[in-house]
Amino acid sequence: MNKSIGIATLAVLTTLASTAALAAGNHAGGHDDAIGKPGVASKATRTVNVDMTDGMRFNPSSIDVKQGETVRFVVTNSGKLRHELVLGTEKELREHYEVMKKNPEMEHADPNMVTLAAGKTGEVVWQFTKPGKVDFACLQPGHYDAGMKGAVNVARPTDRSTRN
């Protein structure tokens, strides 16, 4: 009987701890492998300006980079609502969005994201280590459902570019 209670208690504590970690914005062991890793600002090879609007859009919503490239995203919220840009896999973004809908005042800061009040500018520096698609979205409640999403298309470097 005590063993059953102990296992049940452990299961509840594990669930609570993982939910708290998500709510705190801690995605340890998750996205870094799939989408790249935090970049070093001094190694950024270029800057991409991204505008977030109350029309629930990013401009641009599609960005092309090369595998291995470190990009500085300068993100501006030109709207009157709070917006954010979060890099992740589509699955991660959907899961995080569900948590955000339940906890709209949740504040968190991870290197793969920037949350901005109206009229503010911030940045994300990211290194794209694997080819493929890296999604980004605004996870403020209602914004993702309204289509506030985009993608970074990560191309394998060509032979010519790897020699430079």
Interval 10-21: pLDDT, tens: 333 333 333 334
| Residue whose pair of structure tokens reads 């960005």 in the numeric block | 63
Overall average pLDDT of the 38-57 stretch: 97
pTM for the whole thing?
A: 0.76
* 75 vs 110, residue with greater confidence: 75
Is pLDDT at 6 greater than 50 in this prediction? Answer: no
Overall average pLDDT of the 40-55 stretch: 97
Contacts 24+ apart (CB under 8 A), 139-144: 139/84, 139/86, 139/93, 139/96, 139/97, 139/100, 140/81, 140/82, 140/83, 140/84, 140/100, 140/104, 141/100, 141/101, 141/104, 143/56, 143/83, 144/93, 144/94, 144/97
pLDDT at 158: 80
Are 156 and 69 in contact by the 8 Å Cβ rule? The answer is no
* 46 vs 33, residue with greater confidence: 46
Q: Report the distance separating Cα 93 and Cα 96, nearest Å.
A: 5
pLDDT in tens, 89-127: 999 999 988 888 887 677 777 999 999 999 999 999 999
- pLDDT above 90 covers a percentage of the chain that reads 65
pLDDT in tens, 131-158: 999 999 999 999 999 999 999 999 998 8
DSSP-derived secondary structure letter, 152: E
